């Protein structure tokens, strides 16, 4: 298939990291997520994922993170078949396909216009999937999202690229626009931000990281009175760790005994508003 992608900026290019992690997971004998579409896109474009130097730990973390976001989202849309779903900084991810949403759910993938163009070239359209080409730190794009339906907002791999103020403003705009719902995104402690800036596997995005991180998952509750923490998902305590290779499995099982230590790794935060 001859697909020519638009030229992407380094920030837009970050989509490859998470996409390739999910593609590599799909090629494992026992995938954590089993994202066949990610695998197909990487194969279609013959993308040279080896240049990203993705290690097993990064691959497992990125994939498990997507799975946890999927689980929260799937539960929400099952309870709210009239929901709208938003994926902020969607890249080439196809969460809607993975979660078996009721056909009444409208889904919005939001990313920069060039990424949306690439999505249109690579991902077969679906009746209830809409793409919005926009910078999420700007205001107008939310006008396209209904204001009278419960909403599930997801963001996988986006927050690290926002400043603290941009993230607070984004959450406030979402809560001001949407009547009620839930939000789920991966977050970072200051240590995790430091690690992302210095690890080999995240070298391609190190210069782009702007978020300072926060330790207390309740901190966002102080940004907007409607926001309430539902759950801090610490990966060391998730059952999928049992599938990890021995060394990593033992490391995470040990880490699971300490909340402070577990927070140094990948965290998914789930809120309601
Ligand atoms: C690490 S990738 C993750 C992509 C996708 N969520 C996934 O899991 O594969 C980060 C994505 O966020 C997008 N992004 C970063 N800053 C953004 C912004 N201000 N507005 C819209 N998209 C943004 C990038 O273009 C990129 O596609």
Segment 138-155, tens digit of pLDDT: 999 999 999 999 999 999
Strands 151-155 and 84-88: parallel
- For the cut 60, the answer to whether the pLDDT of residue 29 exceeds it is yes
Mean pLDDT of 216-224: 97
pLDDT grade for 51, boundaries at 50, 70 and 90: confident
Centre of ligand 1 to C-alpha 113, Å, is 11
- For the cut 90, the answer to whether the pLDDT of residue 198 exceeds it is no
- For the cut 80, the answer to whether the pLDDT of residue 104 exceeds it is yes
Helix (H) or strand (E) holding 268: strand 267-272
- Express each pLDDT in 58-80 by its tens digit: 999 999 999 999 999 999 999 99
Q: Are 111 and 157 in contact (CB under 8 A)?
A: no
Give yes or no for residue 211 CB within 6 A of ligand 1: no
pLDDT at 2: 65
Mean pLDDT of 241-250: 96
- For the cut 90, the answer to whether the pLDDT of residue 199 exceeds it is no
Give yes or no for residue 62 CB within 6 A of ligand 1: no
Give nearest CA residue, ligand 1 atom 25: 12
DSSP state of 124: -
Mean pLDDT of 212-221: 95
Give yes or no for residue 265 CB within 6 A of ligand 1: no
pLDDT at 65: 97
46-50, 126-130, 169-173: which has the minimum mean pLDDT?
46-50
Tell me how far the alpha carbon of residue 61 is from its chain's centroid: 11
pLDDT at 172: 98
Mean pLDDT of 228-242: 97
DSSP strands (E only) in 72-221: 84-88, 106-111, 129-133, 151-155, 181-187
Q: Which residues contact 6 (CB under 8 A, 6 or more apart)?
A: 114, 117, 118
5 phi/psi in degrees, rounded to 5 = -80, 150
Mutate to test the pocket of ligand 1, among 63, 144, 161 (most ligand atoms within 8 A of CB): 161
User: Structure pTM?
Assistant: 0.96
- Round the average pLDDT of the chain to a whole number and report it: 95
Distances (CA, A) of 149 to 109, 130, 195: 17, 16, 39
Centre of ligand 1 to C-alpha 148, Å, is 26
pLDDT grade for 200, boundaries at 50, 70 and 90: confident
Give yes or no for residue 156 CB within 6 A of ligand 1: yes
Give yes or no for residue 131 CB within 6 A of ligand 1: no
Distances (CA, A) of 228 to 47, 74, 160, 182, 232: 40, 20, 21, 9, 11
């Amino acid at each position: 298939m001859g697909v020519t992608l638009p030229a992407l900026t380094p920030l837009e290019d970050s989509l490859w990291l998470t996409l390739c992690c999910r593609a590599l997971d799909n090629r494992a004998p026992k995938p954590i997520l089993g994202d066949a579409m990610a695998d197909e896109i990487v194969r279609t474009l013959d993308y040279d994922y080896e240049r990203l130097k993705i290690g097993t730990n990064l691959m497992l973390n990125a994939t498990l993170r997507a799975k946890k976001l999927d689980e929260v989202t799937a539960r929400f849309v099952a309870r709210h078949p009239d929901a709208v779903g938003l994926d902020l900084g969607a890249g080439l991810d196809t969460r809607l396909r993975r979660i078996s949403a009721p056909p009444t759910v409208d889904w919005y993938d939001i990313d920069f216009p060039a990424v949306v163009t690439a999505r249109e070239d690579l991902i077969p359209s679906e009746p209830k999937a809409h793409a919005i080409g926009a910078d999420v730190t700007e205001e107008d794009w939310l006008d396209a999202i209904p204001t009278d339906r419960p909403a599930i907002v997801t963001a996988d791999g986006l927050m690290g690229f926002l400043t603290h103020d941009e993230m607070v403003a984004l959450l406030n705009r979402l809560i001001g626009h949407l009547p009620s719902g839930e939000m789920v995104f991966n977050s970072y402690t200051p240590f995790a931000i430091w690690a992302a800036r210095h690890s080999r596997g995240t070298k391609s995005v190190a210069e782009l990281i702007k978020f300072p991180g926060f330790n207390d998952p309740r901190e966002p509750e102080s940004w907007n009175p409607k926001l309430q923490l539902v759950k801090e998902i610490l990966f060391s305590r998730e059952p999928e760790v049992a599938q990890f290779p021995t060394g990593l499995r033992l490391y995470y099982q040990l880490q699971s005994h300490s909340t402070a230590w577990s927070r140094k790794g990948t965290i998914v935060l789930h809120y309601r508003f």
